[in-house]
Structure formats: C-alpha cells, structure tokens
Structure 1
Amino acid sequence: MNDLVTSSTTADRRLLRAYRRLLRAYPPGPRRDELLDTLVECAPPGRRRPTLREVVNLIRHGSRARLGRPKSRGIVVLTLFVALAGGCLGAGAANWLGWHAVEPLPTGAEAAGISATVFPGLQVWGGGEAPGVVSQSDGEGIEYGYAVSWVKHTAATRDVAAYTAGVRARLEAAGWTVTGVDPALDETDVVGANAADRVESFTATRGALGIRFNDYYWAGRPAYDGDGNATYFLWQEPPSWLKTVTWLGFPPGAFLAWLLTGWASRRLEPNPGMSAPAAIGAILAVLCVVPATLLTLVSDGRADETAGPTWQGLGFALWTPAVLFGVLAALLLFIAAVQRPPRRLPQWRRQAAQVLDVMRRRPRAAVALVTVASLVTGLGLYALVIEQLRPGSCTPTVPAGIVDPPSARTSDQARVFIDRQATEDQRNLAQAAIWRGLGGSPSFAGDPRAPGFLSPYCARGRVDSAVAEKLPSHWSVELASPGLFAGLAAEMMAMPGVVAVQHVPD
C-alpha cells in the first residue's frame, strides 16, 4: 500500500488529472480511488496522458458500472433507447430555444412600407407580430407563424387580374422575387359556380421573409356576407444555423437521460419486484418520443407556402410526446428515490416523538394548539363557501367597447359580446361580420346555464342566476394572426347590438 501511495504522489500531475477526469465515468465511491491507484501503478515512468485504449475502456466500463446491474445486458439496451429518447428531447428543446432567437417579423416603418407597397393608399388591417412556428390547424404538421394583412374591396381590387399584376410589379421593384404563381381559378365541375368569380394568388421572397398575396372576388354575394377581400401573409423563414443548433441539443439530452437511468437502475436493484414495472414504464416513455421524432424527420410537412419541413419545428412537434415522457420519467424517478428512506428520517421521527411527548406533558398547550388549528380550518372553509360556492359571491364585470390589453398583444383569441335583447337577425349579421373581419370558427354562448358562459365575467365565485340572465351573450373567435384584432373590432363595433370586442390574453 505504501508503494501505491508513493506511486500516486510521484506520478505526473497531468496524468493524475486526466485519470481523475476519466474516472468520473464511474459512479461515486471508493472504486474510483482503487482504480486510480491501479492505473498509476501500471503506468510506465514518464507517461503524461492516458492511452486511447485506456480512455475507451474506462468510459465503456464506467458507463456500464453506472447502470448497477453487472449480470444484465438488457439494461444496456434499454438505457441506450432511453438515451436516444432523451437526445431527441434535447434536440427539440434546442430547436425551441433557437426559434426564440429568430428575428421577429417587421414592425413599425418597415412593416408600413411593405403594406404601402402591396396596398398603396388603402386602409390596411392586421399585420403585427406572430410566433416563429405554430401547429397547422389539422395537427398534421407545423407552419411558420405568419401575420395577415387585408383590405376591404374597392373598385380597384375587384379587378383581380389587374390589381394582382400591379402588386407583383411593385414588389419586384422593391426587391422581392416572385417564386410561384397559382393557376387560374377553375370551377368547371363545381355545382352553382359563378363565372364572374375571380381569384389570383402568388408567393414572393426577400431575404428571410416570405409573402403570399391573395385577391378573392366573389361576385353577386349579399353585402352582409362580403364579396371577398385582398390579403397578404408575411412570415419569417428559419435561419441557416437552426439545424446545427437543433442537433447540438442531442448529446446533452442523451447524456442526462443515461445518467438518470443509471441512477434509477442502481436504486431499484435491491428491489427485484420493482424492476419489471420500471422497465415497462421506461419502454412506454421511449415509445412516446422516438416514433414521433422519426415521423417528424422523415416527413417534410409541406402543405402550402407557409408550411415548413416538420423537423424545423421539432420542438413544437414533440411537445405532447415530451409531456408524456416527462410524466412517466418523473414517476419512475420518484419511485427510485423513495426506495430508501431519507437520511434525515430518523431525525424527523425523533423530533415528532419529542413534540408528542411535550403535548402529553402539557395537555393545555395541546388543547390550545388543536383549537387554533380548528379555528383556522373553519375560517378557511367559511371563506371557501362565501367566496367561491355561494351564489352571488362574484359580481360580474361586463366589458364595453374595444378592450385590447398589452398582455394580449400576441394572442389569437378574441370575444365579441352582443346584447341579450338583440334580435336573431342582428346576431346573424354580427356573425357574418365576424367572418368578414377574418375571425375564424366563432362559437356562440347564449345560455347562462351552459358551461363556460360565465368564464368571461368571473374568474372565481358564482353569479346569481337573476344577474346571469341579463349578461350579454358572446362569441369566442380564433384569429388567423394576432394583429387581425383591430380589423375585427372595427368591423364588429359598427354592428347593431354589439356591446364589446375583447382581445383575450393567452
């Protein structure tokens, strides 16, 4: 032993530091010191760094030792798959963070300049900000977050072919490159088609920006339905570095998953009855992530110009699988953590015994403590009944006019409130105006007893039934992009019976 100590103290310090770093592959414990002494003793005089063979062997056997089951090969295979799932989640997290570093859509003078190029001299609604990536409405892929801008039809925009040609010419003069022109509208086999209907669309790019222009004219429509509009979609395409950043997240995710799986395996090894359920849970966790990742990578996800290859939104495509994986992983880690009692459990038991002993020796103090606890509990229950459960515990607040708080700046949710005394014709006209203002999928809430009717008025508590009967009915509206709220509000506040239009924060 003295020779070993002497060898360790006389060895080259660089060699010692290198061995100590490599031995971190092994789980903490006396095994590290034993291996260090052996390695130093076997090293020839003058060696300054480990050999490649030593590096490979120490990492391989150290990683294997962290799994804590020397007789099992299945644990190695399972851990490799868990590490693969962890790496996929790490890549997804890096992708999500990378998208948050992408430049936002143009605002201010730059955005106004684009609108002036597309729609010179017209009142333009929409624009604003948008998230980098959003899920497609059918849930089949992802698309770049876009801002929609639109104008009501004028005599000029109703001449669809001429106006679209003018927009293309102005954009090309401003440095945009037209990348695609849609074919002419063909309604040959459409029953009831109107030969006067016209649609023109094209796509253009400038730098990292993409734009899609559409001009729809539906001839013969009644005024309340509208005869179409002219719009453009603006989005930011991903930068060239996003793919690299995405896959840089794979190694740390895989390494962390490997370490946690090894820790759980060592903790569960003394309890064979828990090993099989834990393995099944780990397999289910892997199945939550790996197939979804493979499907994301092999599919380009393109459906139209605003859609992007699915891997470019890996962090968004893996959101639901990541939640399921996290729930299963947290459960397994919790089971592993409670296999052994906490180190302080005996101390907590002694402290609890001391408290009980004091209460037995001082009954008055015990009675006082129970009385105080009962009083606090009673007051809590009373407050719950008064503030939450009693009818009339909430006084509803009815919005008025246009309500657009700063917290709703990037929200695509809105509500339109209409007086309960409004006629059926007024409600129909208001709903038609929602569609004209590019508010999609409006759902109407008119029954005060229906679930969700009171949510815009009271976050907590209950509304008296007589009061609820007088509250305005409302539509929940999903906007194609957050900046469309101003146009929706302008369209709706001109309708009879509408009392408020509210931009709802996320």
Structure 2
Amino acid sequence: MYRWLLLSYPRDYRRKRGAEILETVRDTAVTHRGTRVAANLVRHGLRARLGRPASRTVVLWATVFTLACGLFTASFGTWLTWLGSRPLDHDELAVAVNQLYPDKPVSHIDRDDPPSVFIIYGSPLSWSSASDLLLGDGGEYSLAGLGASFEQLPADSRPRVLAELLQRLRASGWDDTEAVYSNAYDCVPDDPRCDPATIPSNITVYAQRGDDILEVSINDDSTTPKMSLALTRSTPWSAYPVGVVAFVLGALSGWCLFGWASRRLEVRGPLAQGSAKFLFGFAMVMWWAPILLSTSLMLSHHLSEPHPRWHPLWEWLGQPAMSLAFLCGCLALGVAALSHRLPADQTLAHP
C-alpha cells in the first residue's frame, strides 16, 4: 500500500528518495498506526509537489487554486448528470393539469416537449449563444420547463383559491410546501406613493411528485388575475455522488498542476516569476470574485423561501452568468504557463 502512496510525490523525487522513504515508513509503521503513517506520507508528498520549501504562502495559494478547480469540476460533473435526466413530456403536464382542475378551461398549455434539458432564450445552447453567455445574458441559461395557465380567477377569493389548490394537490399525490408571498411589483422606498400595505402580492406554491416539480403561481392582477403552472424535473440522484467524485478528482488534478508549475517556476528568473505571480493572482480574482458574490446571494435566496430543488452548483459559482470572468482567468493561467526555452548547457564538439 505504501508504494502506491508514493504517487503523491513528484516523479523525480520518487526516483531519488523512493527507496529511502519506503524503508523509513516500514520501520515507523511498526510502532505507529498505519493510517497515521499513510496520512503523513500523503501530506508530505503533496507538499513536496509544490516545491519552494522556504515559502510560507505556496500552500495557501495551492489550496485556493485546488478548491476552485474542484468546484468547477464538480459543477461540470453535475451538469453532465442533468443532461442524462429524464426528459420532460408535455403529456405529463396535461395529465397533471387535468387532475388538478378538470372543471376549469385552460387558457394556455404547452403542447410540445422542450428542445433540450437546458435552454437559453427558448433554444438549446449552441455557438450562436456564445455572445449571450459572455456578454451579460448568461443567467438566461436555465432549466427548461413546461407551462400552463388559467384566466379569470376570482380576485376577491384568493385565500379560497389557495386552500382549494392545496387540497387538490394533496389529493393528486403531490407533496406541497409552504406558500410563498411576494410583492407583485417593487416601488421606491420612502416614496409617498409607496404604501407596502396596498401593494398586491403574488402567491407561489411548490409541489413535488416523484421526479416532477410543479410550481404554481397565483398572480394578483386586478384586471385579469390568473394562475400559472410550471413543470420541471428534480435534481437527478446521481448528481450528488458524481459531484463528490468530480470534486475530488478536480482538486487532486489542480494540486498536481499547481505543483508542476511551482517547481517549474523555481528555475526561472525574477521577471518570469513576477509575471507568472501577477497573472496567477489576476486569474484567482476572476475565478473567486464571482464565486463569493454568487454564493452569498444564492444562500440568502434559498433561506428566504422553500426550494424543493436547489439551484445547480454552477449557478452558485456565478456561471454561466459571469463566464467571461472565468474565461479571462483561464486565459491568464494559460499565458502564465507558457513555456520559455531554457538556455541549453551544451558545448559544440570539434572534429
């Protein structure tokens, strides 16, 4: 087992000191717990990959880079599991609507299946959507859904409509959540015309049955109050184990990549080291600023209302809404990693 754990050390280090390390470990394992010896072996091996033994900050920067790589890799892995989820079927929506309100005419219902699991402006993601993703509209890339709506709800009996809706959901086998009330529109605070007591409110109820999630909204409109339904899929169960495995693999790969670049940079001149450090710092700002901003906003959003399905991991990382910053960071890392030819220590042989 210990021989396999030597893979945590860089290759050159293993060639020079591998036999000595194994001999020391086998002698130490007699008087110490094997798990502790193995953990120390891996810890020292990962540190040896970073080079720069006198540096006190290289471990911190490697950790920052490693966590980012793990998070982005995990988000990509969960995205792949979503692509393999069961596609939406407009017939399922028609059945759900008929179960809830067989006595009420439907003003609109989607009669075609979505073109893909995720869409942007109603269309599948393609190269033609690159400008939308990179120039501020990446937030439009979202999970596809099917919708239906009813017109002419009685405006003076919304509590009765809500109570009837909850009763019908439970009778049809849906597990509903607590109703969420939100203002129908926003107004400027401290404005004399802004009276929170008079602002109409919308009601949203989330319900789940199997892998189906139904979002029912009762819109408070004095002219044409209506109820709208949106059918989407729940998060695939495979997204969780795949996300964990992808995070571990991405983090390990990120650590090894950082270590390779760190050891390679040790032999460079001050100018090369300074430019590489600047580009690395710029890349980390481009990666972590969207993560910190989006995570705080998402956490506040999830705590403010119930969510039968959490937003996918990439939205917590600010993607693809801030994909331009992410690509700028990748470009900076690529420039920093460009190889520079080292002077060859060779002499010409004379005949």
- After TM superposition, the score normalised by the length of structure 1 is 0.48
Q: CA RMSD in A?
A: 4.6
Residue 110 (structure 1) aligned to one of 80, 92, 114: 92
How do 1:233-244 residues align onto structure 2 when only pairs under 5 Å count? 233-238=230-235, 242-243=239-240
Question: Per the alignment, do residues 109 and 143 of structure 1 end up closer, same or farther by CA in structure 2, a change over 3 Å counting?
Answer: closer
CA displacement, residues 134-170 of structure 1 (integer Å, 9 cap, x when unaligned):
99x99999986543212454xxx45773766655544
Between the two proteins, the alignment pairs up a number of residues equal to 302
Q: CA separation in 1, counterparts of 2:92 and 2:100? A: 13
Task: Give the direction of change, closer, same or farther, for the CA distance of 1:268–1:151 in structure 2 (3 Å limit).
Answer: same
The code of the aligned residue for 2:275 comes to P
- Which one of the candidate residues 100, 105, 109 is aligned to 1:125? 109
Query: Which letter does structure 2 place at the counterpart of 1:289?
Result: W
Which residues in structure 2 correspond to 1:200-349 (within 5 Å)? Answer: 201=203, 203-207=205-209, 208=211, 209-214=213-218, 218-219=222-223, 227=224, 229-238=226-235, 242-243=239-240, 245-272=242-269, 273-298=271-296, 299-302=299-302, 309=310, 312-318=311-317, 319-320=319-320, 324-340=325-341
Q: Percent identity?
A: 24
Q: Work out the CA distance in 1 between the residues paired with 2:61 and 2:39.
A: 21
Corresponding letter in the other structure for 2:98: A
Find the partner of 1:99 among 66, 78, 82: 82
Moved more, 70-79 or 260-269: 70-79
8 Å contact kept, 1:301–1:308: no
1:250–1:275: structure 2 CA closer, same or farther, 3 Å change rule? same
Given the superposition, is the C-alpha separation of residues 178 and 280 from structure 1 closer, same or farther in structure 2, using an over 3 Å criterion? Answer: same
- Among residues 14, 18, 29, which one is paired with 1:36 in the alignment? 18
In the alignment, does 2:23 pair up with 1:21? no
Contact 2:65–2:258 at 8 Å: present in 1 too? yes
State the partner residue of 2:130.
none
Shift of the 283–133 alpha-carbon distance from structure 1 to 2, 3 Å rule, reads farther
CA distance in 1 between partners of 2:182 and 2:67 (Å): 48
Query: Over residues 368-405 of structure 1, what are the superposed CA-to-partner deviations in whole Å (9 max), with x where a residue is unaligned?
Result: xxxxxxxxxxxxxxxxxxxxxxxxxxxxxxxxxxxxxx
Post-superposition offset of 1:212: 0.9
| CA 1:160–1:104: 2 relative to 1, 3 Å | farther
SS in 2 for 1:238: coil
Q: Which residue of 2 aligns with 1:8?
A: none
> Where does structure 2 lack aligned partners over 5 or more consecutive residues?
122-135, 186-191, 345-351
User: Which residue does 1:486 correspond to in 2?
Assistant: none
2:65 paired with 1:82: yes
**Contact 2:176-2:206 within 8 A present in 1 as well:** yes
Distance 2:245 2:52 in 1: 31
Whole-Å Cα distance in 2 between the matches of residues 40 and 183 of structure 1? 64
Three-state SS of the structure 2 residue aligned to 1:271 is coil
User: Structure 1 residues 185, 339: CA separation in 2 closer, same or farther (over 3 Å shift)?
Assistant: closer
**Structure 2-normalised TM-score?**
0.65
Once the 2 structures are TM-superposed, how far is the Cα of residue 242 of structure 1 from its aligned partner? Answer: 4.4
Q: Deviations over 1:95-145 (max 9, x none)?
A: 33343344444x24422211223443634333644746999x999999865
Choose 1 or 2 for highest CA Rg.
1
Corresponding position of 2:188:
none
SS at match of 1:214: strand
Any unmatched runs of 5+ in structure 1? Answer: 1-17, 220-226, 344-506
Cα deviation per residue 1:409-467 (whole Å; 9 max; x = unaligned)?
Answer: xxxxxxxxxxxxxxxxxxxxxxxxxxxxxxxxxxxxxxxxxxxxxxxxxxxxxxxxxxx
Q: Does 1:72 align with 2:77?
A: no
C-alpha displacement of 1:258? 1.2
Secondary structure of the residue that 1:171 maps to in structure 2? helix
Query: Aligned equivalents of 1:213 and 1:229: distance in 2?
Result: 8
Whole-angstrom CA distance in 2 between matches of 1:169 and 1:282: 57
Deviation at residue 78 of structure 1 after TM alignment: 1.8
Change in Cα spacing, 1:277 to 1:325, as seen in structure 2 (3 Å) is farther
Residues 265-313 of structure 1: CA deviation (Å, up to 9, x unaligned): 222222221112212222222233335434544524246667965xx42
